[in-house]
Amino acid sequence: MEVIPAIDIRDGRCVQLYQGDYERETVFSDNPVDMAVHWAELGASRIHVVDLDAARSGKPENLPLVRQIASAVRVPVQTGGGIRDLKAARAAVDAGVDRVVIGTAVVEDPDLLASVCADLGVDRVVVSLDARDGYVATRGWTRTSRSPVAEVIAQVRATGVSRIVYTDISRDGTLTEPNFAAIEALFGSDGVSLLVAGGITSIEHLTTLSRMGVEGAIVGTAAYTGDIDMAEAFRTVCAPSSTFPDSGTRD
């Protein structure tokens, strides 16, 4: 399983939000590029970058910083936030990222997902499903759609995309624990390549997710507070992952 540090960018700084609330922000660094280099030097095999400004505005706000991060590290970078048209997806790839993460548009413009997959290739596309009370939240978590998470998962899989980032918003930034029950219920037999975020606070949480077959664990607040020793996590938890068991195949 990959242990993936998150770099959430707002106003050019590296921050973490509490339960996605823009009014409850903690700034951990004024230099996101330096943070990316730090995580890579500690042993990260991938960096997850979120443009929080873009997630709310719907257009790229921090693309120059994303480009700098991708240029500064020798590990793959995936990025999301405000990618709501093909132009934005292409711009992110042109900036040097390995994967684009699409969230809001999956609910509001379902045809876009197919277009991006056709243009960039399905392996470059990750769908972000941010859950609030069982429904998908959109626009930087400022709105909650009427689309149940389980229903959107089925729609996503029908497009051929099999890599999903699942975040339980109620756990995000809280230093509690992931919603293991929801993860198992939603993805336990779906054969998806799953990345989990929200509430990951200990090496034990990471180990549990790895045993569940999760492909990647995205660590935010706990990486910055020191609740998780990231060097130890990279050293002891990271290993080739497998998806949740089903028929032995993956869509």
Here the CATH number for the domain that contains residue 228 is 3.20.20.70
Dihedral sign for Cα atoms in the order 35, 218, 172, 233: negative
Residue 246 located in a structural domain: no
pLDDT at 251 (0 to 100): 26
Task: Report whether pLDDT(196) > 90.
Answer: yes
| Number of compact structural domains in the chain | 1
Q: Dihedrals φ, ψ of 48, to 5°? A: -110, 115
pLDDT band at 195 (very low <50, low <70, confident <90, very high): very high
Residue 244 located in a structural domain: no
Annotated catalytic residue, options 8, 51, 53, 190: 8
Q: 62: helix, coil or strand?
A: coil
Contact 135, 168 (CB under 8 A): no
Contact 61, 54 (CB under 8 A): yes
Task: Report whether pLDDT(208) > 80.
Answer: yes
Give the pLDDT confidence of 210-242 residue by residue, as tens digits. Answer: 999 999 999 999 999 999 999 999 999 975 433
Contact 105, 127 (CB under 8 A): no
Give the pLDDT confidence of 44-88 residue by residue, as tens digits. Answer: 999 999 999 998 888 889 999 999 999 999 999 999 999 999 999
Residue 248 located in a structural domain: no
Amino acid at the residue 90 = R
Annotated catalytic residue, options 51, 53, 130, 190: 130
pLDDT at 141 (0 to 100): 61
87-93: long-range contacts at Cβ-Cβ below 8 A with a sequence spacing of 24 or more?
88/59, 88/60, 89/116, 89/119, 89/120, 90/119, 90/120, 91/60, 91/63, 92/60, 92/63, 92/66, 93/120, 93/124
pLDDT at 154 (0 to 100): 84
**CA 242/CA 185 separation, integer angstroms:** 17
**CA 198/CA 178 separation, integer angstroms:** 6
Residue 85 is a catalytic residue: no
Residue 249 located in a structural domain: no
User: In sequence order, what E strands does the chain have?
Assistant: 2-10, 13-18, 21-29, 47-51, 77-80, 99-102, 125-132, 135-138, 143-148, 163-168, 193-197, 216-219
> Distances from the Cα of 42 to the Cαs of 33, 35, 75, 146, in angstroms?
14, 11, 12, 41
Residue 157 located in a structural domain: yes
Task: Report whether pLDDT(189) > 50.
Answer: yes
Residue 227 located in a structural domain: yes
Residue 229 is a catalytic residue: no
Task: Report whether pLDDT(173) > 90.
Answer: no
Best CA proximity match to 187, nearest among 127, 107, 121: 127
Residue 104 located in a structural domain: yes
Domain hosting residue 161, numbered range: 2-236
This prediction has a pTM of 0.89
